Amino acid sequence: MRGRKIQIEELTKKEQGYLFGLFEGDGYKIYDKKSRHYQIDFYLNSEKDKKLLNFLLGCLKKLD
Protein backbone atom coordinates (compact mmCIF):
# COMPACT_ATOMS: atom_id res chain seq x y z
CA MET A 1 0.00 0.00 0.00
CA ARG A 2 2.95 2.34 -0.27
CA GLY A 3 2.12 5.71 -1.70
CA ARG A 4 -1.60 5.03 -1.76
CA LYS A 5 -3.75 8.03 -0.94
CA ILE A 6 -6.92 7.74 1.09
CA GLN A 7 -9.94 8.96 -0.85
CA ILE A 8 -11.83 10.83 1.89
CA GLU A 9 -14.47 11.72 -0.70
CA GLU A 10 -15.75 8.13 -0.35
CA LEU A 11 -17.33 9.26 2.92
CA THR A 12 -20.34 11.52 3.26
CA LYS A 13 -19.80 14.98 4.72
CA LYS A 14 -21.44 13.78 7.93
CA GLU A 15 -19.08 10.79 8.15
CA GLN A 16 -16.07 13.00 7.42
CA GLY A 17 -17.07 15.41 10.18
CA TYR A 18 -17.74 12.65 12.66
CA LEU A 19 -14.42 10.97 11.90
CA PHE A 20 -12.58 14.28 12.32
CA GLY A 21 -14.36 14.98 15.61
CA LEU A 22 -13.64 11.50 16.89
CA PHE A 23 -9.96 11.93 16.05
CA GLU A 24 -9.82 15.35 17.72
CA GLY A 25 -11.52 14.07 20.87
CA ASP A 26 -10.29 10.49 21.24
CA GLY A 27 -7.38 10.02 18.88
CA TYR A 28 -3.80 10.94 18.17
CA LYS A 29 -1.20 10.46 15.46
CA ILE A 30 2.41 9.36 15.47
CA TYR A 31 5.00 9.81 12.72
CA ASP A 32 8.15 7.69 12.87
CA LYS A 33 10.84 9.56 10.93
CA LYS A 34 13.13 6.54 10.66
CA SER A 35 10.63 4.23 8.99
CA ARG A 36 8.53 7.08 7.52
CA HIS A 37 5.47 5.43 9.02
CA TYR A 38 2.29 7.13 10.19
CA GLN A 39 0.04 5.66 12.86
CA ILE A 40 -3.34 6.88 14.07
CA ASP A 41 -4.92 5.56 17.26
CA PHE A 42 -8.42 5.98 18.64
CA TYR A 43 -9.13 5.30 22.29
CA LEU A 44 -12.63 3.94 22.88
CA ASN A 45 -14.27 2.05 25.72
CA SER A 46 -14.87 -1.52 24.50
CA GLU A 47 -18.13 -1.77 26.43
CA LYS A 48 -19.67 1.70 26.22
CA ASP A 49 -18.57 2.62 22.70
CA LYS A 50 -19.72 -0.41 20.67
CA LYS A 51 -21.98 1.66 18.39
CA LEU A 52 -19.22 4.20 17.88
CA LEU A 53 -16.71 1.44 17.09
CA ASN A 54 -19.04 -0.07 14.50
CA PHE A 55 -19.53 3.34 12.89
CA LEU A 56 -15.76 3.95 12.83
CA LEU A 57 -15.08 0.53 11.31
CA GLY A 58 -17.74 1.15 8.66
CA CYS A 59 -16.10 4.44 7.69
CA LEU A 60 -12.64 2.91 7.55
CA LYS A 61 -13.87 0.02 5.39
CA LYS A 62 -15.25 2.54 2.89
CA LEU A 63 -11.75 4.01 2.62
CA ASP A 64 -10.08 0.65 1.99
4 is a domain residue = no
| Number of domains the chain is built from | 1
25 falls within a domain: yes
Got the DSSP string for 46-61?
A: TTTTHHHHHHHHHHHH
Specify the pLDDT at position 54: 93
What secondary structure letter does DSSP report for 8? Answer: G
Flag whether 47 is in a domain: yes
In a domain, 3, yes or no: no
pTM over 0.75, yes/no: no
Per-residue pLDDT 10s for the chain (64 aa) are 456 778 899 999 999 999 999 999 999 999 999 988 889 999 999 899 999 999 999 998 998 7
List b or e across 19-46, with b for residues whose CB sees 16 or more CB atoms inside 10 angstroms. beebeeeebeeeeeeeeeeeeeebeeee
Q: Specify if 38 maps to a domain.
A: yes
Structural domain span for residue 46:
11-63
Q: Please choose, from the candidates 11, 21, 26, the residue with its C-alpha nearest in 3D space to the C-alpha of residue 60.
A: 11
